[in-house]
Amino acid sequence: MRTIAVVIEYDGTDFAGFQVQRGKRTVQAELCRAVQRITKESVPVIGASRTDAGAHATGQVVHFRTTCRIPVERVPAALNSVLPRDIAARRAWEADDSFHARYSARSRVYRYTIWNHPVRSALMERYAYRVSQPLDVEAMQEATKYLLGKHDFAAFASEAGRYRNTVREVYRAELQPRLPLVWLRIEANGFLQGMVRAIMGTLIEVGLGKRAPDTMEHLLQGSAKGCALFHVPAHGLCLVRVNYDESTIRRSERTGG
């Protein structure tokens, strides 16, 4: 039995999210079908992150276990030959048996894209949220600094009550303007459902002068669940990377194989 890990890219526009849902088109369901076709085995495909409906990925990681002997370097091409056009396998490696795409992850990196322009863009419409009014980017950058470190993000969760613990640690948070584009890039040890979209919504309110930058600090106290009421749409969100400890994920590094 082998454990194969694959980096996956997808356009989430026409999916009901990553996770399998009865009667709906999902990324996970398409991957399971593709893996079954190339391995001739019906096996589960596990993802590192359950991205929302409409959200995209350039660095999602999945794993599956198989007895198929297909060389790992041929796995991406084999998958891409049977996957739909809005999903692509970018690279693959043979992982240690203990590897788990979700639970072995050390951190995840998301990017949210804003198109800050009064006129919509035909090319960016699927991948960026348009804000027509000018944004105060400096105020937004000031608010972003409060995100760093370990905080209670209950105010930014879509359903905070479903979590036993809403504390997460943000390792990096940067607001990068290249007008008319503005990006939020955030890395953390974990994310609550809707967390990045609520953070971005709050930053936009700061950029529009509706909130002061230090509002972010107040919301991170964890006392007011769901107070970040403005959740931006999912189509501007992209999972760009999942980080692992390299010394523990590759079979060759542990066995010499």
In DSSP notation, 136-185 reads -HHHHHHHHGGGSEEEE-GGG-TTGGG-S--EEEEEEEEEEEETTEEEEE
Could you tell me the sign of the dihedral formed by the alpha carbons of 65, 71, 74, 79, in that order? Answer: negative
Which of 11, 52, 97, 152 is an active site residue?
52
Q: Who's near 185: CB < 8 A, 6+ residues apart? A: 109, 110, 111, 172, 173, 174, 176, 240
Can you name the residues that pair with 107 across neighbouring β-strands? 243
Active site residue 136: no
Maximum pairwise Cα distance, the chain = 58
8 Å CB contact between 191 and 175: no
Can you name the residues that pair with 88 across neighbouring β-strands? 9
Letter for the amino acid at 91?
A: R
Give 14's DSSP letter. Answer: G
Residue environment code for 102-139, b if the CB has 16+ CB neighbours within 10 A, otherwise e: eebbebbbbbbbbbbbeeeeeebeebbbbbeeebebeb
Residue 230: name the closest of 188, 193, 197, 207 by CA: 197
Catalytic positions, please? Answer: 52
